[in-house]
Structure formats: structure tokens, C-alpha cells
Structure 1
Amino acid sequence: MLKKTTWVMLLCLVAHTLIGQTSIAEKTKDFTKKEGFFTYYWDESAGKVWLEIDKLESEFLYVNSLAAGVGSNDIGLDRGQLGGTKIVEFRRVGPKVLLVQPNYDYRAVSNNPEEVKAVKQAFAESVLYGFKVEAESDGKILIDITSMLLDDAHGVARTLSRSRQGNFRADASRSAIYPPMLKNFPKNSELEATITFTGTATGGYLRSVTPTPDNVTVRMHHSFIELPDANYELRKADPRSGYGSISYMDYATPIQDNIVKRFTRRHRLEKKNPKAKVSEPVEPIRYYVDRGAPEPIKSALIEGARWWNQAYEAAGYKNAFIVEEMPADADPLDVRYNVIQWVHRSTRGWSYGSSVTDPRTGEIIKGHVSLGSLRVRQDFLIAQGLITPYENGTTPDPKLLELALARLRQLSAHEVGHTIGLSHNFAASVNDRASVMDYPHPLVELKNGTVELKNAYDVGIGDYDKSAIIWGYQDFPDGTDEDKALDAIIDQRVKDGLLYLTDSDARPISSVSPTAHLWDNGKSATEELNRLMELRKVVLQNFSEKNIAVGAPMATLEEVLVPMYMIHRYQLEGAVKSVGGVYYNYKLRGDTQAAQRVVPRAEQEAALSALLNTIKPENLAFPQHILDIIPPRPPGFWRGRENFKVRTGLTFDAVAPGETLSGAVQEFILNPQRATRLAQQKAIDPSQIGLEEVIGAMAQQVFSSTNNAYHAELQRANVDQFTNALINLAKSTQASATARSAAYASLMEIADQDFDEGDLVEKGFMAMQKHKIKTFLNNPMEYNPPSALTPPDGSPIGTDLMDWCSFGNH
């Protein structure tokens, strides 16, 4: 027995020695060789990819992406979606090769190797994959990289689980290398595989876009990319600049200095002649538009993206930003190309601008824009409701396509702006649409009682955008004090009155700024809301069967009606932020920006008045002629997420949309953080409007009487949503004790009132409200009031994830 075991061990050792001595040429003699950044081989008979490594312990970039996606906006696994950018290197340990990701979040930028080593050893690295050495020759080694390519590097299974679509795993038996996308170039190697995920589909989103929902097949792309050279010039980040940034902790920093280093994300751009006021670049920034985009969409995308050349001209560059159609032999995932990709999904959704960025420096290596193809149809639909486009029956008014293409140009410029480094600027509308980095609502005007669309979207780059590009890309001559020069650009921006506030300052729930909003217009959100209410009244009065084509089911008028009835939804979000609001900016000590200040009482009162006007029964009601022309929906045209939620079964609900609006507005006004601010502002400055006054104004509005029976029904919805909002505030753990007490006191007052007037229905309704309140007061933490019906899908008219369903739900 011992002899047999010994012989087996010897044979294994000999076999291992022979394998270790196998040359790469011998191992790969029957494979297809692809030379490039990393030479690799395609073994068609075994379906494997073999990677030749001649760059051990040499760092490079690794990016994974989806070449073919799932097609659901809600799931968020789109064609062309980029994963994270990682710096990695191959390290050999005996017969193994490890793909290691060093930790660049913690560094010591120092000439002392021991100091560098101390930091490196203090924080964990990540070994992403391990391989076996299969052959070697002349200092090069060969590994089988197939298992990595067939792995779920993009986290598809995790995303499906997070979006509640089911539990899935990658199935190797149904996955394979994708040979058409095995490509190699001098500075990047591109690899791709078809990956099938198997499991049990539990979500409707997945079932709606896959032929067999339990088997989800995508294509996953892997890019190995040469790191840029060391000639890129870092630019320190500045929170006022409007740029995104990279950051890390530098433990070699002197104690008196900030240990966190932040640098601006931007493309490399240099003047041929830095001393010249205007110079051509050493190498222009070049973008390519997806050949899969049809006309006239493709031309609109190119035109909009080219607007950025105006900003680079302002920064002293000539022909620095070029946009063209993608070459026929190019692939959008090739790192050499900045791309604008046209992406299809089953529903409309947001677009985004992402990038491959060097984590060491913030240098943008590749810009990658993904534009959802159904978005343009939503803008077409909005225009369809604003005018009567089917006067002749079937051919739509050309103004519809004109508005949709105008929005598409702006969208292309916006998303490209992200890929050149810029963040959102949601305060730009205050400055007369000074930036394409805002989310623009169509500026629809009334002229002599007629709806006018020609100024719906702005054309070209705004003044803020030019200032931002000057700050980020100005190539200063040698000897310039760059910090002072950059501060001077910001000071000039402040002097010109150009505002900048970004995402966290514009969200409807948490924001306090009366200037930073999504999908708004005008210098004053309140004044624009009042203007939109006048426009809305005219649009609803003009609404008729001529808003759809001859032959379309009359029930589909609702799809066109929804964005008209809700046309003020985003302006509401803007106006409400004046209530309990604060004017502020990203001020630095010593700069020229103004200090923060509470929104004056008069502005808060005007905003509150405008908000309460929107929930008056006459403004929640539909004109009778609209109710007369929308029948139940025919087979095949079922009610969906773009329609109103109803309580009337098959028929159009004349009240539920008003309930939705009322509930949203009142929950917004009595948002716990807003209520707390109102209470504190009143305590600090007694002249300010306080929470009790706001609640009193709301009560006066919702308890006012009306002789119109339809309006009375809507007013009951107002009262119901008012008491719900008070209960939610009274039990909120996010509100202060004072704010909760004010809501509690108001509920007690309503519960103690006698409501003897009105018919039996009205008395019963008020008895029901008192019972609801008393049930809550008897057991405050256990009672949850019924929620208002959620609104139809709204955003994105543009690019944001935020949906009006957030009203009252967070």
C-alpha cells in the first residue's frame, strides 16, 4: 500500500513539473492569438480565454460593464452600464497568480518608503480573483481567465435581489465567452461573455422584459486599460466649483493640514500654447454618438453635445470639443471612445452620464453617456397635451416633434456635462436657465390666451456652464498662482450673481433652499407656481378629443391628460421649500459669498398661499367636458403606472386625482423637518411665521364650505388628508417635541369640535374624522392613517430617480 501511494505521489510531481515547464507557444499553438495591451488567446475548442501576463506587479485599470442589459428602468441593468473603475495588478505567488486591488483610499504621498509601507500595511487590499500558472516562457506566464469572465463581476444577481425580482445566481452551464467582442488594442484589452442567471423570478419588472423570467441572460464586458502617464496636472477640488471630485486620506500630511485630499474630476486638456489667449488643444476631447440612434434623434444628440464647444471657447480653446457619429468599426465599450449611447428600455426612465476615472488623480479617461430612448416620447406627450395637435385628425402638429427634439438637445448636453466632470446645478433656473446642468421643465407661455411652445427649452450653453468650464479647464501659463486664479473665477461668478447648489440641496423632502429645485422655472418658485396654475386652467379648458389622433381609443385621452393635470407638480416642490426655508450657499471662510439667512416672512406667506390655492376644490376639479369624454378602457389598453390611481373601478375617477394632489401638498407642508424648522425660526425670531400659523392657515382652507356638490366631495378629501398629515407629524420621530405638540394640539381641537351643520353624509364624514383622531390619540404609536393614492409616474421628465410618490412616504 505504501509503495502504491509513493508511486502516485511521484507521478503527480512529475506531471506538475512537466506542466510547469510547458512553454506558452506549445500550450497555445492551436489557439487564436490576439495581441495588444495584454496578449490573449481564444481556445475555441474548449471555449476558453488564456491571458498572457508580462506585466506582473504593474498596475492597470479594470472596468466591468454590461454590453447587453435587462431592459427595465426600474431594475437598472442597462445596455452600456459601467461598473466601478478599479486599479489592479497581477501578483505571482508560486504556482498561483492573484489579481489584487490595492487600497488607494488611504495613502502616504511621501518620498520615505517606510512611511508609504506603514500606511499600505495598515489597510486591507482586495484579492479579486486567483488563477493557476498554466505555462510560462521568457518571463511571461499564461493563465486561464475564463472563470473570471464568467463570474458575476457586475453584481447582476445582487441588483436583481435588491430590486426584489428574485434570487438568482450565475449558471456556468448556460454561460459562455462571447467571441465577437474579444478585441485587443495597444492601450486596452476587451473581453466579453454571455452570462445566464437562473433562479425564481418574483418581481413584475423582470417578468415584463424577459421571455423566460427564471433565466436572465446578459452580456458582461471586461476592460483592462493602461494607466495614464504622470503628466496630468491635478486640480484641487473646491465645493463651489460645480465639479465632482475624488478623495483619499494622505497620512504623510503635516498635522496642521487637512489629511483628506480632494481633487477635481476632469478630462486632460492642454493648450498647444498656454500663453495664448486662444489656442488649439494638444489633443481635443472627442465624443461619438451611437449609430443605433435614428434620425432626427441622432442629429439632435450631436447638436446638443456640441454646445459644450461654446464653453471651451470661453476658456480659451479652439476646436477643443468635437462630437461625431461613431465609426462603423468602433464599439461603445472601447475605452478609447467617449460615447453617447442610445439605450432602450421597456418603460421611460432617467438617463445618466458616467465615466472611467483614474482613482489616483481624478483624470477622466472615458466619458460614457446613456440616454433612455423612451424619454423623447414623454416630451412629445407633454406637447400633445399642451396644444390641440390633431385638428386635422391624424397628422400631429409639427410643434410636438420640435419640442421633443429641443429637449433631447438639452438632455444630450446635460449628460455629457456629467462626463466632463460637472455636477448638477439646480439653482440655474433662478438665473434665467444659466446652466444645462439643471433639470429643465418646459417653459410654456400664455400669449393672448394661446399656449406658446417656442421658448420651451433653452438653446446653447449657459453663462454658469461657461464659468464652470473656465474654472475646470483653464490652462494657466507658467508662474501663475493657480489657487488665486481659480478663486478669482469663483469671485467673478458670485459678482455676476450666478448661483450653484446641487443634488442634496434640491430634493423636495430634505431641501430648505428656495432657489434649488428640480424641473422648475423662474426667479421665484412661488410666482412661477401661480403662473402655472393660470396656464393649467387654460390647458384643461382647451382639452378635447383633438388631443389624440383619429382612431385612438377615447380612453387614452387620460394618458395625455395626466401630465396636464399634474403640470405644476414640480413647481409645487419648489414653492414649498420657501416655507421654513433658508437662503444659503457653499460659502468658504473669507470668500465673497453672502451669509445664510432665513426666508423672510412675506415670502413664506406668499408660498403658503400659493400652495393652498392648488388644493382649492375648484383647482382640484376636472372641467365637466373632460369627465364627459373619457370612457372606461377597452381590452388591451389596461390602466398602468402612467395613469391615475382610481377608486371607481372601470370608470374615470373625478375625485381620486384631487385626493392625490391634496395629500401630497399637505404632507409636504407638514414634513417633520420643515415643521421643526418653522417652530425653531419662530422661537428665534417672533416676527417669523410659525408652525401653528401654518397649520391654522391649512385648517381654514380645508374646512371652508362650498355649495357645489362635486367641490364638497373634493373638500372632504382635503380634510381627510389634512388630519392624516397632522397624525403623521404628531407621531414622527424626525420632528421636534414642539412640532409634534403643535400637531397633537390641532388634532385635539378638531376632535373636540361640534360639526352639526350639513347633510347626513357630511355629519357622518366628520364623525369618521373625529373617530380616526380619537383612535390615534388613544394609542398614538400604533395607529397608522390610510395613505392617499400615489400619483402617476412623473420624474423623469428628465433624469432624476426622484418620483412624486416620495410625497409623504419618507
Structure 2
Amino acid sequence: MLRKVLLAGAAGLVLAGAAVPTAAQTAPASAAASAAWQDGLFGVRQDSRKGKISVRLPAPGADGVLGRYLYQPGLSAGLGMDGAGLDRSGLGQAQIVVFRKVGDRVFAAFENTRFRAVDADPDQVNAVAASFVSPVVWSGEVAETGADGSVTVDLSGFLERDAINAVGRLKRAKLGTFKPAANLSYVDTAETLVFPDNVEFQTVQTFTSDEPGGELSRVSPETRSVTLAVRHSFIRLPDEGFKPVLHDPRSGTSAQVLVTDFAADLDTPVVSRLARRFRLEKTDPSAARSPVKTPIVFYVDRAAPPAIREALIEGGNWWAQAFEQAGYLNAFRVELLPEGAHPMDARYNIISWVHRETRGWSTGTSVNDPRTGEIVRGVVQLGSLRDRQDKMIIEGLVGAARAGTGGEDDPDRLAYHRLRHLSAHEIGHALGISHNFAASTYEGRASVMDYPAPWVIADGDRLDFSRAYTTGVGAWDRYVVDWLYGDAPGQDPVARRAALAAEAQAKGYRFVSDGDTRPLGSLQAYGAMWDNGEDSTAEFANTLAVRRIALSRFGLDNLPDGAAAADLRRVIVPIYLYHRYQTTAVGRLVGGVDYAYAVKGDGHERADPIAAERQRGALEALMRALSPEVLDLPDRVIDLLSSVQSGSGDRQTQIELFEGKTDAVFDPSSAAASATEVVFETLLAPERLNRLVEQQRRDPGQLGLIETLDRVAVVVGPGAALNPRQAELRRVARARYAAHLAALIQGKDLSSTAQGAVRDSARRFGEQLKRCRGDRLETAQCAYLAEALTGPVEGLKALSETLPVAQPVPPGAPI
């Protein structure tokens, strides 16, 4: 099977890493006369007056095929709204498009490359091809047939398709039901570029709706119309010589190419995965260390401000260390995009500086040959607002006056350092590397492919920023580059990669990616984002100490001079919730399991539960986060947070604030509710509660579900008398716990045993609340919750409506 997969479509083209084109090469081909043919990947003729594009394709073969090309649509101008998936430089799906002449028409279809019959006879190959659809997406009339058999066709209709599925994306984002408006769209002939290995077209496409979503008004002066600039890249299919690499679950690479081989032998899998990677060839293949024929070059968007460009170039160039260690000299670099070059030109690996109305995700993607996994172009999108969030967090910790000082706690300096990490991180994805959310737990934060929270150390009443961020790629990153790109003369490459993966495991390198990290109920104990430290519980104590120090001196000094005092409401969020991501990391220990992406025989196939004492220690740490002392804020801070902003609202600010129930005045109780939600959303995830039942079934000494729920009930239930200030904060945590119990009972995700335990614990908690003592505020809330928890199911439904489980938690991560 391995030999067959490696042979399947084994082709390659060194395109994305090509040397910088000359000024003459980067000049748009549209400089030529409108009616003249421009020869490149295929012939192109523009009619600027009519806004039409004609192409001249080679003479058809016996099967009618005029040509096959790698086709990649993308956006030159986007919507500017986070979450819509319509950002500048965003990519659609890369496909192999085949043009076929049938009669007097040309048809375009997307080839279905996933399903194959590798190394099989023609009958088997044809049977697979006939079993799976290769959709025809466009057709046009033949305009002219040349003496050499070449075919001319007007390609405008193909280019004016909704190639990026803007209609579907707008609908998914709940922005309305739109349809293409042909009379408001056109082919932008001035943006045509024709080169030997790629041809670039651009269309301006408008979509209209009679009932657009109201959210569009935030980014557009006319909500019934959305206009985008769509780039269409046709790229020469890679030539032979590229060697596909079978994905290994231990490798840390992101496999995106699935191959289903219906001719596979019975003792081999039908489905295989190919790793994504650039073609990288040594000038001397027999040398352990050698320069490369064509380096991988990423170009920073000239739209980025100069200081940011420098940070992105410096951070991106960290990857050169890993390639050199893998034996490739001068194999990787990051430079500024040549002046006049188009950032969507398929010849350039681009690091785009993308603007949105609000801060959002940055991404690292690639254009791949769907037959082999060869990366022919890397595309990184960096959100332009996230560095401001990083700066604001540091200003919230140490004060705005430290900006520009050049010290270890300088917010500007740390924000630029974080940008270096961001550049390296997203380029890593474009190189074919996956997240590793366990890397923060070993060998000095061993990967830029983790999400790095600034590691601030509480030293007495001082905050130490000397280890806030690392510099350079880490040990894990160097391993992955060696696995994915490295070779050794005379060694079998498959055996070499298996040995590298085993060596990484032997060194204790854990690898945990997205699917075992992002779900709140994930049980992988080492998969967490924005956390620090080998021991998450010990680091949790440090995080609370940092938070306490920062809040003790929080005030107007955390704002730049002249800033609106209302901006404190935004600054307070990531400081008050400074412990939120370490809380999640600690929560993963409860019911947690240490399991690996193992292969048979590597010795890591077993999944080991976290020791009972660590689980109970984690539970106690979480209970600390529910204490009134942690949830409280000083009066002087609360009073400052009630200053408001006049005039029009700012979406960037509005979504980042604690939602309150006290009109314009800051509501500490709602802030406390968000902080408790951070604990409960992880601790009380149904998957975790089910796991607690199972782990105690196998080991009676382990932390169990009943013990966990009883401990929470003690912490938030009626107990020792508290002063009115602290009593209200305990009531906030109590109400959130009751809301989660009500939601769990009404849900369908618990096992019958866990459901029974939760129902019993809710009833017992309700009976406990009936015995509540204190002032009328205390007894009234206890009675209200007790009635809902011990009465008919209608009471639980009413409680869920009054106290919905989805307590808003503002987006505090520097993402």
C-alpha cells in the first residue's frame, strides 16, 4: 500500500518558492493591447470595452481534454467582518479543473482525486472514476478553432461563478439570503496577469438580498448589497518528482489529503492520509547538509506598518533554524513583498495583514496539489487588531506608562514579541504543521505551534516579565520539520521517520492537537490553550497571584493619557479573567487521561488516568476560583468602572465587556458570574461527569462524580456566615451551579448513572438550601433555588429560562 500511495499522482512543481520575479515579470499583462493575445500558461485575450476574457486552450486529446490546471479562487477584497469567512486574502477550495471539448462547447469539471485505483488496470481505474462524481461547473461555446487545433472560448462565465460560495457563507453567518447580481458584477480586466506557470484573473462580484442581516450595517453603508473582489488563479499542475509522505499520527503534521484506494490489497487500509509539505530539494542529494535548489520564501504584505513588518519578518525567519538543523541550508526565509506585486499572485507565499471590524482569528493555510499533498503556495492571514489586545493585557497588568520604556514589562515591546510568535505560528501551519497544545508543558515551552500566554511570574508584590515569551522555534518544532522535510542519504525515509517519532516520544514530547483540546469536555489532561507550566495546578496558583497583584493596583494608570475612562471596562476583562485559561487547564485534570496518538508497537498505546491525588488537588484549585475573595473587586475599582462612553457605540469595545444587569453602572455580580462560568463550563461538561463515573468503577480510590458534586455543593451552598459583600458573591456562584444542574438534568448527554447522580445531587443540594440561614436576601435566594431543584421538572425549565447556562464570557484571549 505504501508504494502505491507514494506513486499515486507523484508529481511536483517548484512554484511557490520561486525566486523573486523581476519588475518586468511582475508587470500586469493587461499593459498589452486589449485585443492582443498574451501567451503564458495558456493564451489570454482581453476585451476591456466589453469586460470579457477569452482564453486559448491547447488542441484536445483523444478524450477531448484541452487542459488540466490547479484552480484556486480567493478574495482580493473582503467583507471585513469576523466570523463570515470572507476576509481579504481568504482562499476557497483548491481543485483540479479539467477543460474538455464536446461538440462545439467547452465544459469545465472539477476532478475527484480522492477516490482512486492505484497501480490498477484501466478497467478498475475507470470503475472508480465512474463511481464518484466529478461535477461539471460551467460550459461555454467554442468561439474559434485554430489551425493547430487550439480552442478559443470566452471564460467570463466561469470567472463570474460564485467560486468562493459567498452566498453560502453569508447565510451561515446569518447575514441574510443573498443571490448573485450579474448586472452589478464584472470582470476586472485591469487585474489580469499572465505568466508561464500561472494566470491570474479578478472579478468584482455583487450579491443582493431583500432581507439582509442587520449585522451587515456594522461594515457596509448599504446592507442589501455585498460586493467582493474574487481572485482566480490557474496554476500549472506540478510535474513529476515530488515524493508524497504518508501521514503519521505522531508526527505533528496536519494531514489534509485523504486517499481512498479501491485497489488496495486486503491486508492494507483502503484510506490513507498524505502529509502536506513543500517540495524541498538539496543541490547535493548525497550530502547530509546542503543548500537547496529553490528555497521556501514567504513575503510579508506591504499593507503591514513598518514596525510590524519587522516583527513578522524576524519571527517568520525563526523557521530557518529548524530547516538548517534538518540539513537544508538557506532553505527558508521571509522577506517584504516586492513593490508592485499582487499579494494574491499564486507565485508568492504571502503573509497578509488583514483588517476586520473586530479582532479575530489569524490563519495559516496552503494551496495543495490534491493528488499528492504538495504545497504550491502558502497563505497566512494575520488579523491587524490582535496586537492591540496583547498590548492592552500588558497595560492592564503593569500600567500604560510602561509603554515605550524598552523594559522587560514594556507593553509595546511585548506586543511586538507576540507578533513574532504569531508570524512563526501561522507560517508553521502553512508549512504543513499542526497545533501542539501540550508543548507548553515541557522543555521550556517547546513549540511556537502552541498558543502562548505571556508567562508572568509573581515575585512577592512584583511582576516578573523576563520569561514572558520565548525566542525562536522550539524543540518540538525542530523535530516536526525534520520529520516532514528532512532526509538522510542512504536511509529508508519511512524507517527514518518512524525512528524520529519514536525518539520524540522517548524524550517525553507530548503532542495534543485541536480535536483533543478545543471541546470543553475534552479529557486529554495535557491539551489546553493559553496555559503555562509543566504542573498546571501549581501554575494556577501563580496565575491567581499575578491577578491579585494587578487588581490591587488597577485604575486609571492602566489607560494611556487622554483615553476615555470608560475604556477601563474593556481593560478589566482580561485582567479579572486572567486565570481563565489556566483554570481550563486545571479542569482537564479532573477525570483526565493522558493518551497519545500512538501506533502499534511504539509503547504508547495505553491511556493512563491522572493520579487520584492530582485530580483532587485540581478540584480544590477550582474551588478556590469560586471563593468570594477571588471573585471580589476593590470598591475603588468598581467605582471607576462605572464611567461610560458617550456618542455612537464601538463594536470592538461592546463585545469585549461584561454584560451587566444594572443599566449603565458596572455590575460586579455579572463579572463574577462570568468567572464562575469559566470553572463550571469545564468541570461540569457531560463528558467529564461520565468519565468520573467510569474511572471510579475501575478504581474505587479515584475521584468520583458524587465526591465532585458534593464538594461543589459545600463551597457554594449555605455554610459559615459571610459578611454581606462576600455573601452576594457566594450566591452568584450558587446560582450558576444550580443553572448547570438544571441544564444537565434536562440534557441528553449523560449516561444513566451520571444522570441519576446529578439528579440526586440536585435534590440533595435543594434540600440543603431549604435549611439556609441568614438575612432575607440569603434565605430568599435559597428558597427560590430549592423549589426549582426539588420540585417538578417544570421548575427546572423555569430556572433554565431565568438563569440560562450559557452565561456570557467576554472573548478575553489574545486571538
Aligned to 2:27: none
The alignment status of 1:120 with 2:129, answered yes or no, reads yes
Offset at residue 534 of structure 1 (A): 1.0
Preserved contact between residue 589 and residue 615 of structure 2 (Cα < 8 Å): yes
**CA displacement 1:775-799 (0-9 Å, x = unmatched):** 454576787352257445325513x
Distance in 2 (CA, whole Å) between partners of 1:55 and 1:66 is 32
Distance in 1 (CA, whole Å) between partners of 2:357 and 2:365 is 22
**CA displacement 1:586-638 (0-9 Å, x = unmatched):** 11111143621111111110111111101101100111221132233131274
Distance in 2 (CA, whole Å) between partners of 1:315 and 1:30 is 49
Distance in 2 (CA, whole Å) between partners of 1:329 and 1:226 is 23
Q: Which amino acid aligns with 2:785?
A: Q
Preserved contact between residue 789 and residue 796 of structure 2 (Cα < 8 Å): no
Aligned to 1:766: 782
Q: Summarize the Cα distance change of 1:229–1:710 in structure 2 as closer, same or farther, 3 Å threshold.
A: same
Aligned to 1:252: 263
Preserved contact between residue 659 and residue 789 of structure 1 (Cα < 8 Å): no
The alignment status of 1:549 with 2:564, answered yes or no, reads no
Aligned to 1:33: 37
**CA displacement 1:393-439 (0-9 Å, x = unmatched):** 99999811101000000000000000110010111001121010111
Aligned to 2:142: 133
Greater shift after overlay, 479-488 or 148-157? 479-488
The alignment status of 1:794 with 2:803, answered yes or no, reads no
Q: Which amino acid aligns with 2:657?
A: N
**How many percent of aligned residue pairs carry the same amino acid?**
37
3-state SS in 2 of match to 1:356: strand
Aligned to 2:173: 163
The alignment status of 1:218 with 2:228, answered yes or no, reads yes
3-state SS in 1 of match to 2:620: helix
Distance in 2 (CA, whole Å) between partners of 1:272 and 1:201 is 60
**CA displacement 1:87-126 (0-9 Å, x = unmatched):** 1111111011110112111101125222211211122211
Number of positions where the alignment pairs a residue of Structure 1 with one of Structure 2 = 770
Distance in 2 (CA, whole Å) between partners of 1:271 and 1:397 is 41
Aligned to 1:533: 544
Distance in 2 (CA, whole Å) between partners of 1:213 and 1:489 is 54
Aligned to 1:689: 703
Which runs of 5 or more residues in structure 1 are unaligned? 1-27, 799-810
Greater shift after overlay, 116-125 or 558-567? 116-125
The alignment status of 1:446 with 2:468, answered yes or no, reads no
Name the TM-score, length of structure 2 as normaliser: 0.91
Aligned to 1:153: 163
Aligned to 1:643: 657
Q: Which amino acid aligns with 2:433?
A: L
Greater shift after overlay, 447-456 or 616-625? 447-456
Greater shift after overlay, 517-526 or 296-305? 517-526
Aligned to 1:601: 612
Relative contact order: is structure 1 or structure 2 higher (C-alpha 8 Å, sep ≥ 6)?
2
Aligned to 1:580: 591
Aligned to 1:13: none
Aligned to 1:741: 756
Offset at residue 392 of structure 1 (A): 11
Offset at residue 152 of structure 1 (A): 1.2
3-state SS in 2 of match to 1:353: strand
Aligned to 1:726: 741
The alignment status of 1:672 with 2:686, answered yes or no, reads yes
Aligned to 1:54: 58
Distance in 1 (CA, whole Å) between partners of 2:450 and 2:278 is 21
3-state SS in 2 of match to 1:167: coil
3-state SS in 2 of match to 1:84: coil
Q: Which amino acid aligns with 1:759?
A: D
Offset at residue 464 of structure 1 (A): 0.5
Preserved contact between residue 509 and residue 671 of structure 1 (Cα < 8 Å): yes
- Return the match for 2:517 from 488, 493, 506: 506
Q: Which amino acid aligns with 1:787?
A: P
Provide the aligned C-alpha RMSD in A. 2.1
- Return the match for 2:469 from 448, 457, 472: 457
Greater shift after overlay, 384-393 or 537-546? 384-393
Q: Summarize the Cα distance change of 1:687–1:592 in structure 2 as closer, same or farther, 3 Å threshold.
A: same
Q: Which amino acid aligns with 1:176?
A: Y
Preserved contact between residue 100 and residue 126 of structure 1 (Cα < 8 Å): yes
Q: Summarize the Cα distance change of 1:616–1:781 in structure 2 as closer, same or farther, 3 Å threshold.
A: closer
3-state SS in 1 of match to 2:178: strand
Offset at residue 316 of structure 1 (A): 0.7
1:251-650 matched pairs, under 5 angstroms: 251-390=262-401, 399-431=410-442, 432-477=444-489, 479-593=490-604, 595-636=606-647, 638=649, 640-650=654-664
Distance in 2 (CA, whole Å) between partners of 1:370 and 1:53 is 34
Preserved contact between residue 731 and residue 740 of structure 1 (Cα < 8 Å): no
Aligned to 1:189: 199
Distance in 2 (CA, whole Å) between partners of 1:291 and 1:179 is 23
Distance in 2 (CA, whole Å) between partners of 1:392 and 1:503 is 34
Name the TM-score, length of structure 1 as normaliser: 0.92
Q: Summarize the Cα distance change of 1:587–1:396 in structure 2 as closer, same or farther, 3 Å threshold.
A: closer
Q: Which amino acid aligns with 1:542?
A: R
Q: Which amino acid aligns with 1:743?
A: V
The alignment status of 1:175 with 2:185, answered yes or no, reads yes
Q: Which amino acid aligns with 1:121?
A: A
Aligned to 1:802: none
**CA displacement 1:275-328 (0-9 Å, x = unmatched):** 222110121111111111112100000000000000001101111001111111
Which runs of 5 or more residues in structure 2 are unaligned? 1-31
Distance in 2 (CA, whole Å) between partners of 1:458 and 1:768 is 51
Q: Which amino acid aligns with 1:167?
A: T
Distance in 2 (CA, whole Å) between partners of 1:765 and 1:795 is 30
Q: Which amino acid aligns with 2:51?
A: G
Greater shift after overlay, 111-120 or 318-327? 111-120
Distance in 1 (CA, whole Å) between partners of 2:531 and 2:373 is 32
Offset at residue 774 of structure 1 (A): 3.6
Q: Summarize the Cα distance change of 1:397–1:304 in structure 2 as closer, same or farther, 3 Å threshold.
A: closer
